[in-house]
Amino acid sequence: MNHATVKNDYFWMAKAIQLAQKGRFTTSPNPRVGCVIVDENNQLLGQGYHVQAGTPHAEVHALRQASNARSNGAKGATAYVTLEPCSHFGRTPPCANALIEAQVARVVVAMTDPNPNVCGNGINMLQAAGIEVVSDVMAAEAAALNPGFTKRMLTGKPFVRVKLGISLDGKIALQNGVSQWITGPEARRDVQRYRAQSCAVLTGSGTVAADNPSLLVREQEAKFENYPLEHIRQPARIVVDSQSKLNRDFNVFSDGHVTFTATLQAHPDTSVGHYIQVDEKDGKVDLHGLMSALGDKQYNEVWVEAGPGLAGALLQEGLVDELICYQAPKLLGDKGVSMVNLPAFTALNQSISLSLIENRQVGNDIKLIFRPDVS
């Protein structure tokens, strides 16, 4: 491939990735996908992105635009797709067929579809039809669009982000439990965005009992790009409450939005609430089992806003994909409540090692994104 072609491929794939990002808040359980169609003279013919499961895929939108743009539509053109075109009949027919019928000459794909129903078949179908396929163009950027979909397809479990609002000295509250507003409004707004893009928000019974949070997306703060305010998609709330001890008056149970109690013993009367019954481990719910149950519900991304007990247990169980800390320039003192409860390690090799993958200032706070190192 000559230099100009490679350069164009990156240019158009970057555009397709930008389009896919528009689906950030709406596509789940489906992946975020973008598509651009470019003619023989490197001019844009059509573009599209997947908006919502059950509605047309990205390629279909782009192909429609191309056929409106000129009489021979996408014939002889190049299609750029952030995810391998699907090969299966799901809620919609296969995009690989649509591209073949449109007689595109070339398809550039960022990454293969981890869905076992597709998984290379889409690319094979295109090649069998004589279409040139180039793959792995901006694969890392495309993978970053869909950490949850990919992880769920490969492991059956969602991608889990744990959020912690901490002081400079790593505390989440004063000794007396007072914790409100450690971080500033910008950090809280950033949190709203994560709630909005996640399928579920996970917390523990202690946090519900102490703070009575809603864990929903607050409408006043949800005016961010591409978020469909006209039909707000709220995440489901999952409350880990092994013994089902919480009463039903807390906001999460009484505000009319969906909440599941993750418990060892589901209440026999389903009118009392929604439950996820999970196997026991050391007297508590087995968190691996819980994550598999959330994967079965087709949750791609789970956002955890919990106390030090649940956050620590998830880390200790190796169930955290990302730890997101908002660190405020405050010192709460050594009597404050620590951010995570972990066992009393006696050797440094027992400690949990993380890699910092992003840091930036958010208002007066610092946002730090870590990924646990695989041991």
The separation between CA 136 and the C-alpha centre of its own chain, rounded to angstroms, equals 21
Q: How far is the CB of 50 from Zn ion (least distance, A)?
A: 8
Q: How far is the CB of 123 from ligand AOF (least distance, A)?
A: 11
Which stretches of the chain bind ligand AOF, using CB under 6 A?
30-31, 33, 50, 53, 57-59, 83, 85-86, 90-92, 95, 113, 115, 118
Tokens standing for residue 117: 């129903």
- The nearer residue to Zn ion, 129 or 342, going by C-beta atoms, is 129
Bridge partners (DSSP) listed for residue 236: 200
> Considering only residues 274-313, where is the footprint of Zn ion by CB under 5 A?
none
The rounded distance, in Å, linking the Cα atoms of 195 and 305 is 10
Q: How far is the CB of 83 from Zn ion (least distance, A)?
A: 8
Contacts 24+ apart (CB under 8 A), 366-371: 366/325, 366/326, 366/327, 367/187, 367/190, 367/324, 367/325, 367/326, 367/327, 368/324, 368/325, 368/327, 369/322, 369/323, 369/324, 370/322, 370/323, 370/324, 370/325, 371/321, 371/322, 371/323
- Catalytic sites, residue numbers: 59
> Considering only residues 133-192, where is the footprint of Zn ion by CB under 5 A?
none
Strand blocks (E) in 56-154: 78-81, 106-109, 132-134
By CB under 5 A, the count of residues binding Zn ion is 3
Secondary structure letter of residue 41 according to DSSP: T
Tokens standing for residue 341: 């409860």
> What is the full DSSP assignment across 155-198?
HSS-EEEEEEEEETTSEEE-TT---TTSS-HHHHHHHHHHHHH-
CA–CA distances in Å: residue 357 to residues 65, 150, 201, 323, 325: 38, 19, 22, 10, 12
- The nearer residue to Zn ion, 95 or 294, going by C-beta atoms, is 95
Q: How far is the CB of 70 from Zn ion (least distance, A)?
A: 23
Stretch that binds Zn ion, among 81-89, 158-166, 213-221, 239-247 (CB under 5 A): 81-89
- Residue 289 interacts, among Zn ion, ligand AOF, none and using kind-specific CB cut-offs from 5 to 8 Å, with none
Q: Confirm or reject binding of residue 95 to Zn ion (CB under 5 A).
A: yes
Q: How far is the CB of 319 from ligand AOF (least distance, A)?
A: 23
The rounded distance, in Å, linking the Cα atoms of 267 and 246 is 12
Q: Which amino acid is at 260?
A: F
Q: How far is the CB of 61 from ligand AOF (least distance, A)?
A: 8
- The nearer residue to ligand AOF, 83 or 108, going by C-beta atoms, is 83
> Considering only residues 9-38, where is the footprint of Zn ion by CB under 5 A?
none
- The nearer residue to Zn ion, 86 or 153, going by C-beta atoms, is 86
- The nearer residue to ligand AOF, 101 or 334, going by C-beta atoms, is 101
> Considering only residues 41-70, where is the footprint of Zn ion by CB under 5 A?
57
**153: Cα within 13 Å, side-chain hemisphere:** 18
Q: Confirm or reject binding of residue 109 to Zn ion (CB under 5 A).
A: no
- Residue 30 interacts, among Zn ion, ligand AOF, none and using kind-specific CB cut-offs from 5 to 8 Å, with ligand AOF
**How many residues can be counted in the chain?**
375
- The nearer residue to ligand AOF, 50 or 151, going by C-beta atoms, is 50
Q: Confirm or reject binding of residue 86 to Zn ion (CB under 5 A).
A: yes
**Residue with CB nearest ligand AOF?**
90
The rounded distance, in Å, linking the Cα atoms of 161 and 303 is 5
Q: How far is the CB of 291 from Zn ion (least distance, A)?
A: 27
- Residue 133 interacts, among ligand AOF, Zn ion, none and using kind-specific CB cut-offs from 5 to 8 Å, with none
CB atoms within 10 A of CB 267: 15
- Residue 201 interacts, among ligand AOF, Zn ion, none and using kind-specific CB cut-offs from 5 to 8 Å, with none
- The nearer residue to ligand AOF, 143 or 174, going by C-beta atoms, is 143
- Residue 33 interacts, among Zn ion, ligand AOF, none and using kind-specific CB cut-offs from 5 to 8 Å, with ligand AOF
The rounded distance, in Å, linking the Cα atoms of 351 and 370 is 15
Secondary structure letter of residue 55 according to DSSP: S
Question: Under the rule (CB under 5 A), what is the footprint of Zn ion?
Answer: 57, 86, 95
